[in-house]
A and B are shown apart, each in its own frame.
Chain A
Amino acid sequence: AQSVAQPEDQVNVAEGNPLTVKCTYSVSGNPYLFWYVQYPNRGLQFLLKYITGDNLVKGSYGFEAEFNKSQTSFHLKKPSALVSDSALYFCAAPSGGYNKLIFGAGTRLAVHP
């Protein structure tokens, strides 16, 4: 069965420091992987996706994600965190349809001034 996992419930980072939000996957075939972000009282917003090609994918708001096939990981990264990056982050993968997504449990990112 397809699955994605986010091993951390919460990540705390100081403003200006690099951040990493972890995601591992277990999918059959060539994986499609997504990151979505949910700001307080808002819906999920698409950040970036990996389909094929370069292992480093660049997305919105300065975020990027690194696809690692050997480690079955797709970690979200940003070189310098902002307080406004504080939100809930979800890793996702299709399961039976491009937009029929399975989501990880979510990781709450808290960026402190």
Chain B
Amino acid sequence: EAGVTQFPSHSVIEKGQTVTLRCDPISGHDNLYWYRRVMGKEIKFLLHFVKESKQDESGMPNNRFLAERTGGTYSTLKVQPAELEDSGVYFCASSQTGQSPLHFGNGTRLTVT
């Protein structure tokens, strides 16, 4: 089966610009998660979708971040406007149920200059 895919793999943008990250989960996985690792620190939870609904978005850092999962398939994470501290690696993960292991994508490395 195809794994979790994320696009782009790298993105370099200037402060104040907008960036949209995309995640395609494993087919049939209703649960989709976003995590990020900023500046080599701990990986932090951002939010959790079940199908198209946001189950938990308690980890979203502020209102510059907007995640969507229209139709319950792929998800996008938009950062607008980007700030320097948003630089890091953004991981998407999916799971078949809320109690099965996570399958992670390779991540998107975001650099804000």
Contacts and interface: CB of A to CB of B under 8 A. Distances in A.
Interface of A: 34, 36, 41-46, 49, 90, 95-106
Contacts of A106: 42-43
Main secondary structure of the interface of A (DSSP, over half): loop
Contacts of A100: 33, 45, 48, 56, 59
B80 interface: no
Interface residues of B, number: 27
Given A43-B107, A45-B104, A102 B91 contact: no
Given A99-B95, A99-B98, A100-B45, A44 B104 contact: yes
A96 B56 contact: yes
Nearest to B106: A43
B87 interface: no
15 contacts: A36-B104, A42-B106, A43-B91, A44-B104, A97-B56, A97-B98, A98-B99, A99-B33, A99-B102, A100-B48, A100-B56, A101-B35, A101-B102, A102-B42, A106-B42
